[in-house]
Amino acid sequence: MRVSVVIPTFNRSGTLRQTLAGLIAQDYPDYEIIVVDDGSTDGTDDMVMREFPSVRYLRQPNRGPAAARNVGIRMSSGVIVAFTDDDCLPPSDWLTRLVDGYTRYPEAVGVGGYLETPAEMLKHNVLARYERYVTREQYKARDEEVLGGFECPAGGTCNMSYRKSVLTEVGGFDEGFRYAAGEDADLKWRIVQQGYRLLYTPVRMVHLRPYTWQAFRKQQIIHGRGAWYFEHKHGHSPGWGRIALRAIKRGMSFIPDVWRMGAALAFVKMMGGWYDCWGQWQEMGRVK
């Protein structure tokens, strides 16, 4: 069963190098790697072509990761299309374990795992600990497999795969999502609405992101933009009042969260919620 690995990238040549090194070392015998450069200006093209000549390198003007992944899907030759990001490090058996999921559960049209925070960062970085909290609590990553619909923990494109036939059937990613947020949930929603099932298997993907406040703020704002566009697309379109109410509720949850998770994590959660709401306001302004 041939697998095509598609990685969209934009100005992350440093971490992309580590991602590609991990992909080159996969123990699965039949796969290709496709990098779709979304208009990088940091020498990504030279790095990929010089250091990874076996990788298929494609380039497009900057149109966002959803559009980049669609290019990769169209150019892929695999029966399965696997996705990861340009700041992730896969284990050597990543593809083997994804394909094994399709073999054991032929009814599954998608198989994915979870995002792991580097263990060394958990000791001294509260943002890393918060990411692990979100992975375990919000996205329900666990040690046992889950076969299901939209409630299935699998789906995030940092560690996900789909049968190419179903990607073609639903039209791929919605390119209206301009940022790396919400487009994977939207794809998952459209697939399970057709009655298909997905498999979560506990194969990890290590996150190589910088755990700085600036990076956290940017990530949360982008998440808010994607979340608002997802709601807008599916008929909700929260306005200024509803977004403001969400911001107030997230502030009010601080004290209960202090008792539940400690002051440091509670503060990060509150600020992340406010940044998320700010992203929703920004996206509403862009669309309307």
**pLDDT tens for residues 37-76?**
999 999 999 999 999 999 999 999 999 999 999 999 999 9
Q: Name which of 1-5, 66-70, 214-218, 281-285 the model is least confident about.
A: 281-285
The three-class DSSP label of residue 250 is helix
**Cα(264)–Cα(130) distance, rounded to whole angstroms?**
9
- β 56-59/3-9 pair status: unpaired
Claim to verify: residue 53 and residue 195 sit in the same structural domain: yes
pLDDT in tens, 176-188: 888 888 899 999 9
Assign 90 a pLDDT band (cuts: 50, 70, 90): very high
Q: Does the pLDDT value for residue 288 go beyond 70?
A: no
Claim to verify: residue 89 and residue 191 sit in the same structural domain: yes
Which range of residues forms the domain containing residue 76? 3-207
Output the pLDDT for position 161.
98
Question: Which of 163, 182, 207 represents a domain boundary (last residue)?
Answer: 207
Residue range 116-124: mean pLDDT, rounded: 81
Output the pLDDT for position 121.
82
Output the pLDDT for position 191.
97
Q: Does the pLDDT value for residue 140 go beyond 70?
A: no
Rounded to 5 degrees, φ, ψ at 180 are -80, 65
**In this predicted model, which residue has the larger pLDDT, 56 or 288?**
56
Q: Does the pLDDT value for residue 36 go beyond 80?
A: yes
Tokens of 131: 């990411």
Residue range 5-9: mean pLDDT, rounded: 98
| Percent with pLDDT over 70 in the chain | 98
- Domain harbouring 136, CATH code: 3.90.550.10
Most confident stretch, 20-34, 113-127, 206-220? 20-34
Assign 139 a pLDDT band (cuts: 50, 70, 90): low
Claim to verify: residue 237 and residue 147 sit in the same structural domain: no
How open is the CA angle 95-97-99, to the nearest 5 degrees? Answer: 70
pLDDT in tens, 244-276: 777 888 788 877 888 777 888 888 888 888 888
Claim to verify: residue 131 and residue 68 sit in the same structural domain: yes
Q: Which residues pair with 1 in a beta bridge?
A: none
Question: Which of 157, 189, 207 represents a domain boundary (last residue)?
Answer: 207
Question: Which of 156, 191, 207 represents a domain boundary (last residue)?
Answer: 207
Output the pLDDT for position 89.
95
Claim to verify: residue 136 and residue 222 sit in the same structural domain: no
Q: Which residues pair with 108 in a beta bridge?
A: 197
pTM for the whole structure:
0.89
Claim to verify: residue 155 and residue 281 sit in the same structural domain: no
**Cα(121)–Cα(195) distance, rounded to whole angstroms?**
40
pLDDT in tens, 191-244: 999 999 999 999 989 988 888 999 989 988 988 888 888 888 877 777 777 777
Claim to verify: residue 237 and residue 115 sit in the same structural domain: no
**Cα(176)–Cα(171) distance, rounded to whole angstroms?**
13
